[in-house]
Amino acid sequence: MAFHKYQAYISLCAKFSTFIWPDEFKSCGLKKPSPTELINIFTSTTNYHEYYKKKFSKVVDGQYLDMIDWLSDKDDALSDQEVWSFSAASYSFKYLRK
């Protein structure tokens, strides 16, 4: 679930970076959301910076395709054992050390 939230935030930021804020919004006093406000839709700012960004950006930037598929719940993703080299009831950020 956390990886899905991270991907949604990244996607939303990309869309907002090219989105022209309508004059109607501006005239009503509505401001374009800041990156922090967008983060807070999905998680706390601290949680995002301490875990999501720190861990998931390394997975995505490092192009760990098998891990990305597993985190994305793809049907053809490798098994837990193949990705993590062990099986667990649940997985947490502590397993994303490397």
> Are 41 and 29 in contact, with CB atoms under 8 Å apart?
no
Structure confidence at residue 98 (pLDDT): 57
Q: Over its length of 98 residues, how does the chain's per-residue pLDDT go in tens digits?
A: 899 999 999 999 999 888 888 999 989 999 889 999 999 999 999 999 999 999 999 888 877 899 999 999 999 999 999 999 899 999 888 888 75
Closest CA to 8 of 71, 67, 58, 80: 71
DSSP 8-state assignment for residue 81: H
> Are 68 and 78 in contact, with CB atoms under 8 Å apart?
no
DSSP 8-state assignment for residue 85: S
> Are 10 and 59 in contact, with CB atoms under 8 Å apart?
no
| Structure tokens, 41 | 């839709």
Structure confidence at residue 11 (pLDDT): 94
| Structure tokens, 51 | 């875990």
